[in-house]
């Protein structure tokens, strides 16, 4: 995507080298797609896709306040919002805050940070930020969070410090036209701890998603950083189960890609992968399986081995949720054979395979015993790598308990 300073670019995002396909990251070999496209006759994508007055869905080219860009479905709604909805008192404040979308992003960011700080308040008592070395942020006065895999007293930090550090590193990469690993390493600071090298999760991941979006939302619609930030926000929303908002974000990202560059299949597949993840979260496993199967086939055709692996893994997870354990098992076997032990997703893939072993109807004692042994090993790895309180560790512990109960109930002597 050629990220020259100040240039307008279409993001060519790919899930390549994305551990666990959980992060939204730019392609390690970005290519510039558009240089001169203007925005004079196009509305820029906004997360505020409902009328500010009546909450009705909005078209892209919706009517908007000439001062602050707040959008409405009709002139009547705009007039009503000004006279009765309080917009007359907020309009100047919203404009001063950068316009409706920027103002909204800043507001949601502050709310997300407050939630994250509250969650880690007890753990962070007496600690200091590993970046600025202060307990309270010098400017925002926010408290500390953690939300990664750091243990003991390590990893406590202010979300604002993480965001500022990521912003500076990405700006440096943009300034120097870095790509490949140099770009990827810097961009990953929007979602990954620099100490333990694991991704943030839950409320901290969500707060960083809003931080990323508010940083780049003001750029042109086709700008690569803006598209990347949109994807980062979608993943953060998904991490805290705000699935409807995440789905809207990924679908809008896909719509922009198809409109600006319909031939960018790499980016489109990444969008579809995360749309399928949203379906997974809401229990729409048939829809998720259909999309993952499509992405899996396309990735294999592209000889994109790593991303085909991730799509196949998530397809197997959907098949497990649908009770199609034999199908999931037959899919997982070749995936595991091609899996590098260094890949972060390895333990989760082994966990899903273990599920297919002990949940399959008519599973033998050997299969259930093998599942339990596999889950014990996976649990040990996750405790060391992610910590005992990480969601993936807790999920593995649950599956291990179930496998042990199955072994005891079905095969007790």
Tell me the three state secondary structure of residue 345: coil
Same domain, 31 and 139: yes
Confidence at 75, pLDDT banded by 50, 70, 90: confident
Same domain, 22 and 148: yes
What pLDDT score was predicted for residue 36?
32
Same domain, 150 and 18: yes
Residue 133 lies in a domain: yes
**Residues 157/141, Cβ–Cβ less than 8 Å:** no
Confidence at 7, pLDDT banded by 50, 70, 90: very low
182-186: average pLDDT: 91
Give the integer Cα–Cα distance in Å for 34 and 44.
Answer: 16
Q: Of 77-81, 177-181, 280-284, which has the strongest mean pLDDT?
A: 280-284
Confidence at 26, pLDDT banded by 50, 70, 90: low
Q: Is the pLDDT of residue 19 over 60?
A: no
Same domain, 222 and 357: no
Same domain, 224 and 343: no
What pLDDT score was predicted for residue 32?
37
Return contacts of 274-280, CB within 8 angstroms, 24+ apart: 274/24, 274/231, 274/234, 274/235, 274/238, 274/246, 274/250, 275/247, 275/250, 275/251, 276/314, 276/318, 277/238, 277/314, 278/238, 278/243, 278/246, 278/247, 278/250, 280/314, 280/317, 280/318, 280/321
Residue 269 lies in a domain: no
Give 32-51 pLDDT, tens digit per residue: 333 333 332 333 445 667 78
Same domain, 228 and 349: no
Give 198-214 pLDDT, tens digit per residue: 999 999 999 999 999 99
What pLDDT score was predicted for residue 324?
95
Strands 71-72 and 63-64: antiparallel
Residue 28 lies in a domain: yes
Higher-confidence residue: 16 or 406?
Answer: 406
What pLDDT score was predicted for residue 47?
64
What pLDDT score was predicted for residue 31?
36
In this predicted structure, which of 52-56, 123-127, 133-137, 283-287 has the lowest mean pLDDT?
A: 52-56
What pLDDT score was predicted for residue 345?
61
Residue 333 lies in a domain: no
Residue 61 lies in a domain: no
The residue ranges of DSSP E strands in 217-352, in sequence order, are none
Q: What is the DSSP string of 12-23?
A: -B--TT-GGG-S
* Mean of all residue pLDDT scores within the chain: 84
Give 211-245 pLDDT, tens digit per residue: 999 999 988 888 889 999 999 999 999 999 999 99
- Full 3-state SS string of 190-226: HCECCCCCCECCHHHHHHHHHHHHHHHCCCCCCCHHH
Task: Count how many residues are written for the chain.
Answer: 413
Give 379-397 pLDDT, tens digit per residue: 999 998 888 888 999 999 9
For 154, the domain range is: 1-35+100-240
Contacts (Cβ under 8 Å, ≥6 apart) of 117 = 124, 142, 143, 144, 145, 159
- Full 3-state SS string of 130-141: CCCCCCCCCCCC
Model confidence, pTM: 0.83
Contacts (Cβ under 8 Å, ≥6 apart) of 412 = none
Give the integer Cα–Cα distance in Å for 336 and 406.
Answer: 24
**Residues 368/375, Cβ–Cβ less than 8 Å:** no
What pLDDT score was predicted for residue 339?
67
Give the integer Cα–Cα distance in Å for 155 and 149.
Answer: 8
Same domain, 344 and 222: no
φ, ψ (nearest 5 deg) of residue 15: -85, 5
DSSP 390: S
Higher-confidence residue: 21 or 180?
Answer: 180
Q: Is the pLDDT of residue 12 over 60?
A: no
Give the integer Cα–Cα distance in Å for 309 and 174.
Answer: 30
Number of domains in the chain: 2
Give the integer Cα–Cα distance in Å for 331 and 125.
Answer: 47
Same domain, 7 and 140: yes
Give the integer Cα–Cα distance in Å for 264 and 289.
Answer: 23
What pLDDT score was predicted for residue 362?
87
Same domain, 109 and 233: yes
Q: Is the pLDDT of residue 20 over 80?
A: no
Residue 374 lies in a domain: yes
What pLDDT score was predicted for residue 341?
53
Give the integer Cα–Cα distance in Å for 402 and 396.
Answer: 10
Give 323-349 pLDDT, tens digit per residue: 999 999 999 988 888 766 545 568 889
Residue 68 lies in a domain: no
> Which of 225, 240, 255 is the last residue in one of the domains?
240
What pLDDT score was predicted for residue 353?
93
In this predicted structure, which of 58-67, 207-216, 218-227, 282-291 has the lowest mean pLDDT?
A: 58-67
> Which of 240, 262, 282 is the last residue in one of the domains?
240
Residue 249 lies in a domain: no
Same domain, 228 and 352: no
307-330: average pLDDT: 93
> Which of 216, 240, 264 is the last residue in one of the domains?
240
Q: Is the pLDDT of residue 321 over 90?
A: yes
* Radius of gyration from C-alpha coordinates of the chain: 23
Count CB neighbours of 262 within 10 A: 9
What pLDDT score was predicted for residue 200?
96
**Residues 113/204, Cβ–Cβ less than 8 Å:** no
In this predicted structure, which of 19-23, 45-49, 315-319 has the lowest mean pLDDT?
A: 19-23
What pLDDT score was predicted for residue 52?
79
Q: What percent of the chain has pLDDT over 90?
A: 55
What pLDDT score was predicted for residue 27?
47
Higher-confidence residue: 95 or 258?
Answer: 258
In this predicted structure, which of 42-56, 90-104, 107-121, 211-225 has the lowest mean pLDDT?
A: 42-56
Q: What is the DSSP string of 174-189?
A: HHTT--HHHHHHHHGG
Same domain, 3 and 109: yes
H helix runs in 97-158, sequence order: 100-119, 121-124
Give the integer Cα–Cα distance in Å for 32 and 336.
Answer: 35
Same domain, 13 and 152: yes
């Amino acid at each position: 995507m050629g990220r020259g300073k100040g240039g307008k670019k279409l993001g060519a995002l790919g899930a390549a080298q994305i551990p666990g396909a959980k992060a939204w990251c730019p392609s390690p070999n970005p290519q510039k797609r558009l240089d001169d496209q203007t925005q004079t006759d196009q509305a820029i994508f906004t997360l505020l896709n409902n009328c500010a007055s009546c909450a009705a869905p909005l078209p892209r080219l919706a009517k908007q306040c000439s001062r602050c860009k707040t959008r409405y479905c009709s002139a009547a709604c705009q007039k009503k919002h000004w006279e009765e909805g309080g917009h007359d008192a907020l309009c100047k404040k919203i404009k001063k805050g950068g316009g409706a979308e920027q103002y909204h992003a800043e507001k949601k960011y502050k709310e997300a940070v407050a939630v994250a700080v509250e969650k880690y308040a007890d753990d962070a008592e007496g600690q200091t930020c590993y970046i600025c070395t202060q307990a309270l942020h010098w400017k925002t006065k926010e408290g500390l969070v953690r939300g990664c895999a750091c243990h003991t007293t390590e990893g406590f930090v202010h979300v604002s410090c993480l965001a500022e550090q990521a912003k500076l590193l990405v700006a440096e990469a943009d300034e120097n036209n870095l790509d490949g690993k140099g770009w990827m390493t810097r961009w990953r600071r929007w979602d990954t701890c620099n100490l333990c090298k694991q991704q943030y999760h839950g409320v901290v991941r969500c707060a960083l998603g809003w931080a990323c979006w508010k940083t780049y939302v003001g750029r042109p619609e086709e700008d690569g950083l803006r598209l990347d930030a949109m994807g980062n926000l979608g993943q953060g929303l998904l991490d805290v189960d705000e699935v409807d908002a995440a789905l809207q974000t990924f679908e809008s990202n896909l719509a922009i890609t198809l409109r600006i560059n319909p031939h960018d299949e790499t980016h489109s597949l990444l969008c579809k992968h995360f749309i399928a993840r949203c379906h997974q979260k809401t229990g729409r496993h048939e829809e998720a399986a259909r999309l993952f199967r499509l992405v899996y086939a396309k990735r294999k055709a592209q000889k994109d081995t790593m991303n085909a692996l991730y799509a196949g893994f998530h397809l197997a997870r959907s098949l497990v949720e649908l009770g199609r354990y034999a199908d999931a098992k037959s899919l997982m076997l070749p995936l595991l054979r091609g899996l590098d032990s260094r890949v972060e997703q390895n333990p989760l893939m082994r966990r899903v395979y273990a599920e297919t072993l002990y949940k399959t109807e008519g599973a033998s004692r050997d299969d259930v015993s093998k599942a339990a042994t596999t889950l014990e090993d996976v649990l040990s790895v996750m405790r060391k790598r992610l910590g005992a309180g990480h969601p993936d560790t807790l999920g593995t512990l649950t599956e291990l308990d179930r496998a042990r109960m199955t072994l005891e109930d079905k095969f007790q002597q």
